[in-house]
Amino acid sequence: MARTPIMGAGGIVVRSGPRPLIALVQRSRDDAWVLPKGKLKRKEAPIAAAEREVVEETGYRVEIHDYLGAISYKVGRKLKLVEFWRMQPLGKTGRKPTDDIKAVQWLPLEAAIKQLELPLEQLFLRNVGPRVLGTTAPVAVRPPVDVPPGVAPSPAPDVARLPAIVVAGEGRRSFLQLLLDAFTFRRRSRA
């Protein structure tokens, strides 16, 4: 029987301006720079958890915009599914970030991608970054490789082993949460 995944939520927080900046947080336990996110509380909606976690970890009140997608990965023997929304800071809360956060840093998109510790988060931010910033230009990662006609390029070794990434279309609702709710309802109705 499939196990219910650990559900998490977070945000890509973008400070507007001539040079938009993205918020990253540094975890106290391992000094890793990550996107602000955390686990859902019991019966908490993912969008509410995303806002709560971002406020707690960055110390900024935020306005939530569109749903960006999700990443999933293994934590021990369980699957973890983390959904993300695009957010804009409204101002400081007056409180310091939670104890599990050592620092908050605001960086341009390219620098934020490089600073992230987790390859899966780097790939996710690379994919949603242009939409988050309101541009259509892809983020340059490595120089293009010439591939002979009729031959499909193979993914880079680090990308080939990465777990699932789902990049959502425009909108605020979480499609993955709807699927999980339907799965949970189906299991309850059989009991």
Question: In the structure, what pLDDT confidence band is assigned to residue 77 with cuts at 50, 70 and 90?
Answer: confident
Phi-psi region of 15 (alpha: psi -120 to 50; beta: other; left: phi over 0): beta
Looking at every residue in the chain, the average pLDDT score rounds to 80
Pairing of strands 33-34, 78-92: unpaired
CA distances from 130 to 31, 73, 90, 112 (A): 27, 24, 21, 13
Domain presence at residue 63: yes
Task: Identify whether the C-beta of residue 7 lies closer than 8 Å to the C-beta of residue 46.
Answer: yes
Domain presence at residue 66: yes
- Domain of residue 25 covers 6-136+158-190
Domain presence at residue 75: yes
pTM of the model: 0.74
Task: Identify whether the C-beta of residue 124 lies closer than 8 Å to the C-beta of residue 69.
Answer: yes
As for how many domains the chain has, the answer is 1
Domain presence at residue 146: no
CATH number at residue 73: 3.90.79.10
Rounded to an integer, the average pLDDT of 63-88 is 93
Angle at 3 between CA 158 and CA 74, to 5 degrees: 20
pLDDT digits (tens, 9 = 90+) for 123-167: 999 999 999 998 755 544 443 444 445 544 444 444 444 455 666
Rounded to an integer, the average pLDDT of 41-46 is 94
pLDDT digits (tens, 9 = 90+) for 161-177: 445 566 655 444 455 55
Domain presence at residue 153: no
